[in-house]
Amino acid sequence: MAQQTQDQTRSVEHEITVQATAGDVYRLIAEVRNWPQIFPPTIHVEHLGGDGGRERIRIWATANGQAKSWTSRRELDQAAGRIDFRQEVSSAPVAAMGGAWIIEPAGVGWSRVRLLHDYRAVGDDPAELAWIDQAVDRNSRTELAAMKDAVELAVAGDRLLSFEDSVHIDGSVADVYDFLRQAGRWQERLPHVASVTCEEDDGGLQVLEMDTRAKDGSTHTTKSFRVCLPPGRIYYKQVTLPPLLSLHTGHWTVEPVGDGVRATSQHTVLINPDRIAGIPGAGTTLAEAKDFARGVLGANSRATLGHAKEYAERRAT
């Protein structure tokens, strides 16, 4: 449902019915730290402060396949089941954007979730407005469907796997961070990377496409969006995934520890149950598939951390 006002502000509404209580749905939407694992367009969210009822957040997300970033203010009213949001500074072609999540009981154990948006295009350009229409419609439908799945399956249940690996480095935070950020040079620096392209904007938002070699010599292609936040954090979300996974997010962190630094790689993945039989093989259980994913991803991350260690320690001598 869409409406157009005389000042060229578009108002649209999307909705979905969820088999969960309104309270459970509200908590999922209110807690932004898990959004990258729940909402496919979301790459990363930073909480910038607030007092409980009001807060500021910065969001990195995709729209029509392009990565965008903006800062929003939110007003949370748990009793009313409503969360209002308004972008402080929008990213072109959006001139202004706001809306609300409204969660209402819809019978015993069911909820109705309405997602409202109002927005304008830069210069009230009709072509730009059409682009925003398409992005809002696609993202709203995707987010509502993903939110429904997340609530009803208790955030994917036992198909979800999170883990991390760390290494101590006798070097500087800056050198380790630079190695991890300069992903465009990984083909020459990391043996398991067959090819790589990396584009970065002025705000530290990267688009990374990479072919990675497996132990058997095969390669698989992934595409990720990365948010680089100096001095020591890089968050990423894969949008082109290996067949075994239906979700892969993670982050690199570099922090001073004693006379050196600790570098950590964190992964959160969701196993695709339809591909377990093919990878790593027929008869594989879910637990074995999770172990397989942990082994492959962990090995690549540990290799990357090992080369980052060599790079930083060599520069420290």
Q: Say which residues have a Cβ less than 8 Å from residue 2's Cβ, sequence separation at least 6.
A: 10, 11, 12, 13, 133
Average pLDDT along the chain:
91
Task: Considering only residues 217 and 107, tell me which one the structure prediction assigns the higher pLDDT.
Answer: 107
- pLDDT category at 2 given cuts 50, 70, 90 is low
User: pTM for the full model?
Assistant: 0.87
pLDDT at 155: 42
| Alpha-carbon span 309 to 176, nearest angstrom | 7
Task: Kindly report, residue by residue over 87-136, the tens digit of the pLDDT.
Answer: 998 889 999 999 999 999 999 989 999 999 999 999 999 999 999 999 99
pLDDT at 87: 96
| Alpha-carbon span 112 to 103, nearest angstrom | 6
pLDDT of residue 7 exceeding 70, the answer is no
- pLDDT category at 278 given cuts 50, 70, 90 is confident
Domains of the chain: residue spans and CATH: 2-152 (3.30.530.20), 159-316 (3.30.530.20)
pLDDT at 5: 53
- pLDDT category at 137 given cuts 50, 70, 90 is very high
Task: Kindly report, residue by residue over 175-198, the tens digit of the pLDDT.
Answer: 999 999 999 999 999 999 999 999
